[in-house]
Amino acid sequence: MKKKILLAFFVCSLPATTLAAPIGDIGITSVSAYYSSGSWDWYSGYDISFQNQNLIIDIDIQLNGVDPGDALRDTWKQGIESKWGNPFDISDGTFIYDLDFNVNWTNISPDHIVNVNNGGGYFSVYDWDISVSPSLQPTLAAHEAWHMFGLWDEYIGGPVDPVNPVIRDDSLMGIYLTKTHPDHYTNFTDWLASESGKSITVVPNLGDHYYDISAVPEPSAYLMFGSGLIGLGLMGWRRRSTKS
C-alpha cells in the first residue's frame, strides 16, 4: 500500500508542459491624437484591433482633387502596407504574431482627407502629388501615412518630436526615406500590451502565422516537479529512520 501511495505522489508531481495561450481576439479601438511641431500640425487617426493572432491597423483615406487612377492608388496602398507591415512581427515572449496594415480608400467617414495634385512635386500629410517620380511614390505615401499613424519626422527641418527629437538618416521617417525601426511601432505595441496584459516586443518578420517560440514548461511546472522530488526524499529518509 505504501508503494502505491508513493508512486501516485511521484506521478502527480511530474511537470506538465503548461504553455501560455496565445492572445485572444481584442475588439476595435479608434485612435486619434493631435500633433504639433514648429509650423506643422496634424491629427493621427486609425483603427486598431487584434484578430486571429494578427495585430490589425486600419486607416481610411479619402482622396480629393486630381484622380490618381487605379494603378497609382494601388501603388500607394501597397507601399504603405508593405513598407510598414513586412519588415517586422510582434511577440509576447511565447508567440509571434503578424502586423497587418490595411489602407482603405473611401468617401464615407474617412480618418484622413488627402488632396491629390498634379505638379509642384510636394508631398505632405494632406497633399500628395502624382507628378513626382513613380519610383518615389510608394515610399513617399508610406512616409506620409506614418504621420497619420502618429509618427514624427526624423530629419532636421521636418516636424520632429518637440520633446525628444530623433534624427536618423537610415529611417523611413528620415531624410533618405530608407527603412523602418522597431521603435516606430511603439504606439501599436503599447496598445496591445495594455489590452492583453502582456509585454509586447517587435521582432523580425518570420511569416504569416503565429509561432510557438518555446515548448518549455512554465516555472510553476518545475516547482511542482521539485516539490515532488523533495517529497520523495523526505519519505525515503523517514522510512530509513524508522528502520534504524
Domain boundaries, the chain: 2-18+217-243, 26-212
pLDDT for 78 equals 98
Q: What is the pLDDT of residue 48?
A: 98
Tell me the CA distances in angstroms from 83 to 65, 102, 160, one per residue in order: 26, 12, 21
- Write the Ramachandran bin of 114: left for phi over 0, alpha for psi from -120 to 50, otherwise beta: beta
CATH fit for domain 26-212, picks 3.40.50, 3.30.70, 3.40.390, 2.60.120 = 3.40.390
The Cα–Cα gap between 93 and 243 comes to: 51
Distance CA 188, CA 206 (A): 19
Lowest mean pLDDT segment, chosen from 131-135, 142-146, 222-226 = 222-226
- For the residues 4-16, what does the mean pLDDT come to? 44
24-33, 75-84, 232-241: range with lowest mean pLDDT: 232-241
Residue 236 has pLDDT above 50, yes or no: no
- What mean pLDDT comes out for the span 138-148? 97
